[in-house]
Amino acid sequence: MKKILLLLVFGVFLLSSGMLLADNEGMEEEYDEDIYGPEEPIVWVKPVESVVFEHKVHTMGAELDCESCHDDLFAMEAGAAEENEDFTMATLYEGGYCGACHDGSSAFASNTRCTTCHIGVRGHMRLIGGDGDEGDKH
C-alpha cells in the first residue's frame, strides 16, 4: 500500500512538473543590454575579493531602471567604483553605493547575507576558470 501511494505521489509530481515546465516555455524575456545593463556580471575585488554584481537581478528581478543607481550611486563605467577611496564596506553600511538600497528595508541589509554577493577568492578563481585553490592562504 505504501509503495502504491508513493508511486501515485511521485507520478503526480512528475505530471505537475511537466505542466509547469510547459507553461513556462517561451515565457522568459529576451535579455536586452540596452534596457537591463550588461549581461556579464561585474566582479569587484575591492574592498574584499570578490563581489559579483549582476544587473539582471536588479533590473529584471527587482524592476529597477538604470537611473536608480547611475550616475548618483555608481558611475556608468563598469568597475569605476573600485577606484574611489570610499568604496568600502563602512561606506555601504552608512548608505553609500549598494548600501543605499541594501539597508534592511528596501533590500536585505549590506551587513547580512554576505555570501549573496561575496564569492571570495575561491569563487573568483572558479569564475575566471581557475581551480579555486590559487591564493588560498588558509
Q: Is 18 exposed, middle or buried (0-12, 13-18, 19+ CB in 10 A)?
A: exposed
Q: What is the reported pLDDT for 120?
A: 85
Report whether CATH 2.30.30.40 matches the domain 33-127.
no
Cα–Cα distance for residue pair 33/40, rounded to 1 Å: 10
128-136 contacts at long range (C-beta below 8 A, 24 or more positions apart): 135/49
- For the chain, 138 residues long, give each residue's pLDDT as a single digit of tens: 544 444 444 443 444 444 333 444 443 668 888 889 999 999 988 877 889 999 999 999 999 999 999 999 999 988 899 999 999 999 999 999 999 999 999 999 999 998 899 988 888 888 778 765 544 443
Q: What is the reported pLDDT for 21?
A: 39
Q: What is the reported pLDDT for 47?
A: 77
Three-state secondary structure of 10-66: HHHHHHHHHHHHHHHCCCCCCCCHHHHCCCCCEEECCCCCCEEECHHHHHHHCCCCH
Task: Delimit the domains of the chain by residue range.
Answer: 33-127
Q: Quick one: DSSP state of residue 5?
A: H
**Other Cβ atoms closer than 10 A to 44:** 20
Global pTM exceeds 0.85: no
